[in-house]
């Protein structure tokens, strides 16, 4: 027998939640923010990639984009068409992604009253960094301006009911002393969307409170645009802490070799040219060594191979049980 079909009881599925530091090199806190030549390309008109280092082994950590509801704070596509700019495209793109429509503008609470700022900064975490989702309660984002250092954290630890938008769960960013520890809920300085790895900042309020440099909101802006004001505020801050959260699914496959199965070697060298066993002692007392297990589909296509660290002796007096774990 060369193949054996698995029974339903031979396969067990499990799922575990795994959290880990989000940034490269297993760093919980990112304190170095570096841009590259990408900022000078066409894509740099929409967003900046931010790296963990300027060396050759640099990796993208997140991207910064600036959106303006009326199209200010960036260059225009056409000088004769006001309001059609890179910032208006960014605002509209994230509005559709997060809210699921083109009409619901971003709003933030200030002293309990919803406000609709024209300027919004977006921090999009690289997928390889946050994996499946951002771990709620792990965010501590530091922004610094002339008013000093402002630390922002999400309110997931105090919310009894999750709120949802088209992009999934949403939590508020408030002033905090540590990750998950909110100091004041008076001003909603931003929102975090953990399921898509996205942060939206209430730029107008951050600028008004002097935690971020002012954005030039003229219609033709070419020197220092909105993305750079956020980057400068981050670089002056004390760091950005974040953890990733993912569900690791595992298949445990139990391979059972009964005493009467898999006792004859399938190695072609074990058979003579006339079709007989090369060693006569194997006729009444066959033995084989299990060194690997192949997993096949119904068409007998090999899908995966599990190798044993030590070959396992098998004969009619022995049964074998091999457990295979597949993570994905």
In a domain, 144, yes or no: yes
pLDDT of res. 218: 55
Number of structural domains in the chain: 2
**Same structural domain, 61 and 140:** yes
pLDDT of res. 221: 42
Tell me the whole-structure pTM to 2 decimals: 0.79
**Same structural domain, 234 and 320:** no
In a domain, 135, yes or no: yes
> Would you give per-residue pLDDT tens digits along the chain (328 residues)?
468 899 999 999 999 899 999 999 999 999 999 998 887 788 888 899 999 998 888 999 999 999 999 888 887 788 777 778 889 999 999 999 999 999 999 999 999 999 999 999 999 999 999 999 999 999 999 999 999 999 999 999 999 899 999 999 999 999 999 999 999 999 999 999 999 999 999 999 999 999 998 876 654 444 346 778 899 999 999 999 999 999 989 999 999 999 988 887 777 777 777 777 777 766 777 888 899 999 999 998 999 999 999 999 999 999 999 999 998 7
**Same structural domain, 115 and 259:** no
The domain boundary residue, chosen from 214, 241, 268: 241
**Same structural domain, 93 and 147:** yes
In a domain, 143, yes or no: yes
In a domain, 294, yes or no: yes
What is the spatial distance between Cα 212 and Cα 246, in angstroms, rounded to a whole number?
33
> Which domain, by its residues, includes 301?
8-15+247-327
**Same structural domain, 231 and 262:** no
What tokens were used for 140? 């501590």
In a domain, 2, yes or no: no
**Same structural domain, 42 and 75:** yes
In a domain, 170, yes or no: yes
**Same structural domain, 111 and 225:** yes
How many whole angstroms from its chain centre is CA 198?
Answer: 10
pLDDT of res. 286: 85
What tokens were used for 113? 């009253």
Left (φ > 0), alpha (ψ -120 to 50) or beta: where does 170 sit? beta
What is the spatial distance between Cα 50 and Cα 48, in angstroms, rounded to a whole number?
6
pLDDT of res. 13: 93
In a domain, 203, yes or no: yes
**Same structural domain, 88 and 62:** yes
**Same structural domain, 177 and 299:** no
The domain boundary residue, chosen from 176, 207, 241: 241
**Same structural domain, 163 and 50:** yes
What is the spatial distance between Cα 124 and Cα 169, in angstroms, rounded to a whole number?
15
The domain boundary residue, chosen from 201, 217, 241: 241
Comparing CA positions, the residue from 67, 186, 170, 184 lying closest to residue 115 is 186
pLDDT of res. 34: 93
In a domain, 3, yes or no: no
Which residues are CB-neighbours of 314 under 8 A, at least 6 positions away?
Answer: 257, 262, 263, 287, 288, 289, 290, 320
Q: If DSSP codes are grouped into helix, strand and coil, which group holds residue 317?
A: coil
**Same structural domain, 226 and 284:** no
**Same structural domain, 290 and 313:** yes
């Amino acid at each position: 027998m060369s193949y054996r079909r698995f029974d339903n009881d031979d396969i067990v599925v499990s799922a575990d939640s795994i959290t880990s530091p989000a940034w490269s090199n297993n760093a919980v806190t990112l304190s170095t923010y570096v841009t590259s030549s990408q900022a000078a390309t066409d894509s740099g008109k929409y967003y900046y990639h931010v790296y963990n280092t300027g060396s050759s082994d640099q990796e993208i950590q997140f991207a910064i984009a600036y959106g303006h509801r009326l199209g200010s704070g960036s260059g225009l596509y056409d000088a004769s068409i006001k309001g059609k700019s890179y910032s208006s495209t960014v605002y509209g793109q994230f509005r559709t992604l997060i809210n699921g429509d083109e009409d619901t503008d971003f709003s933030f609470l200030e002293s309990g009253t919803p406000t609709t700022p024209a300027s919004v900064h977006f921090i999009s975490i690289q997928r390889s960094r946050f994996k499946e989702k951002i771990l709620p309660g792990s965010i501590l984002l530091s922004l610094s301006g002339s008013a000093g250092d402002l630390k922002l954290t999400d309110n997931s630890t105090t919310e009894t009911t999750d709120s949802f938008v088209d992009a999934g769960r949403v939590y508020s960013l408030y002033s905090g002393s540590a990750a998950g520890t909110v100091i004041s809920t008076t001003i909603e300085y931003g929102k975090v969307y953990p399921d898509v790895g996205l942060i939206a900042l209430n730029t107008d309020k951050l600028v008004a409170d002097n935690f971020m440099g002012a954005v030039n909101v003229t219609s033709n802006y070419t020197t220092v645009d909105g993305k750079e004001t956020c980057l400068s505020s981050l670089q002056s801050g004390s760091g950005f802490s974040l953890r990733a959260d993912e569900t690791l699914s595992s298949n445990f496959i139990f391979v059972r070799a009964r005493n009467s199965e898999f006792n004859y070697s399938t190695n072609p060298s074990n058979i003579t040219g006339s079709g007989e066993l090369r060693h006569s002692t194997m006729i009444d007392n066959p033995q084989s060594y299990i060194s690997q297990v192949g997993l096949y589909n119904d068409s007998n296509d090999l899908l995966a191979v599990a190798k044993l660290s030590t070959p396992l002796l098998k004969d009619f007096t022995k049964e074998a049980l091999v457990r295979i774990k597949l993570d994905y």
